[in-house]
Structure 1
Amino acid sequence: MSVGLLLLRVLLAALLFGHATQKLRGWFGGSGRAATGAIFEQWGFLPGARMVLVAGLAELLGAASLAAGLLTPGGSALVVGTMTVAAVATSVNGFWAQRGGCEVPFWYGAAAVVLAFTGPGPWSLDAALGLRWSPGYAWGIAASLLGLLASAVPLASRARILRERRTTAPQGEDPAGV
């Protein structure tokens, strides 16, 4: 189980790193901050470039926390919050990633929840520093709720912006721009 938790943490962190740097730097075939900011604005996240920075930094901090196994419930909460926002924004395309759906952010968030419940395992900085996250269910619930609560702020702002667009958009136009 120790190796499995280490692999889960490191692989998820690597994917989150790639996901963040696609947005922030245009690495791994990503669009970079300006182009991703335009997409964020279409989705109702304003100002787009700033929201890309917030999302990318949250993903990087969550990835670093999970990779190192340091303050794991906090890292999990960061990932849950960021991925909840991403999943809601992409859910208009359905679930599966091949259609631009929310499958990827759902999976990343779900994996972070699993780590919040299990803890990082013995091969982690949390273990080396004597930080114990037991009982795991309490920390898992707390990390999940904190992430969901944090996602409420950008999602509420997005909902307001999309409502405003609907009232001013010409008939038949999609206010989310998707």
Structure 2
Amino acid sequence: MTTKSVLERATTNTELDGVAADIGLLIIRVVFGGLLAVHGAQKLFGWFSGPGLDANAAGFDSMGYNPGKFFGTLAGLCEFGGGLLLALGLLTPLASAIVLGTMINAVNALWSLGLFGKDSYEMPLLFAAVGAAIAFTGPGKFSLDHGRPWQRHGFVWGAGAVVIAIVAAVLTLILKWTL
């Protein structure tokens, strides 16, 4: 028996193969978006053993993001809102831009602690990468965007989301340094 014939027999073609990538995107969006929304809820409301708004504000003050209440609330809203939008697959390029811009600032804040270890920038970098990837792929068929007039995905929309995220992150860093 040849290698080719073994591979041919091992290959499956089912009706569901056409939606396999969409199922994968759904799993990534729901898990990733849900976890990011939880991070935002921790910051904003103290849910899920989070610090809550006052302690979060103090943490942002200590990282040089003054006023901490403004920047902490902004980060919490971006994580909560961007995470929920991605989980739902709603306004995906905008949601991706929100997530990526927020994570660029998180990477910046944790840069001095290194890529690995306690309080490193490993997790924000991972979140940024997933947010950027979803900007390019789109949310898939199992999303609130699918089939709607506002549905957008592909290279131009992914690149646009990345540019918007970078501009928003830089503006936030400028505010951090000037306030």
Instruction: Using structure 1 for the length normalisation, give the TM-score.
Output: 0.84
* Distance in 1, Cα, partners of 2:50 & 2:152: 36
The yes-or-no answer on 1:109 pairing with 2:119 is: no
Deviations 1:47-102 (A, max 9, x none): 10121111111112211211111110000000011111111001110012x32111
- SS state at 2:146 partner: helix
- 2:113 corresponds to which residue? 93
Q: Map 1:116-127 onto structure 2 (within 5 A).
A: 116-127=135-146
> In 2, are the aligned partners of 1:22 and 1:29 still within 8 Å (CA)?
yes
Which one of 150, 155, 159 corresponds to residue 177 of structure 2? 159
Identity %: 38
- Paired residues in the alignment total 159
> In 1, are the aligned partners of 2:37 and 2:82 still within 8 Å (CA)?
no
- 2:158 corresponds to which residue? 140
- 1:46 corresponds to which residue? 66
Deviations 1:12-61 (A, max 9, x none): 11111111011112222221111111110111111101211111111122
> In 1, are the aligned partners of 2:37 and 2:80 still within 8 Å (CA)?
yes
Q: Output the aligned Cα RMSD.
A: 1.4
1:142 deviation in Å? 0.6
> In 2, are the aligned partners of 1:117 and 1:139 still within 8 Å (CA)?
yes
* Distance in 2, Cα, partners of 1:33 & 1:126: 31
> In 2, are the aligned partners of 1:40 and 1:51 still within 8 Å (CA)?
yes
1:130 deviation in Å? 4.3
* Distance in 1, Cα, partners of 2:167 & 2:147: 30
* Distance in 2, Cα, partners of 1:71 & 1:157: 26
- Moved runs in structure 1, 4+ residues, more than 6 A? none
| Amino acid of the structure 2 residue aligned with 1:36 | N
| Amino acid of the structure 1 residue aligned with 2:57 | G
Greater mean alpha carbon deviation, residues 49-58 or residues 123-132: 123-132
Select the structure of larger CA radius of gyration: 2
* Distance in 1, Cα, partners of 2:119 & 2:129: 18
- SS state at 2:53 partner: helix
* Distance in 2, Cα, partners of 1:57 & 1:157: 17
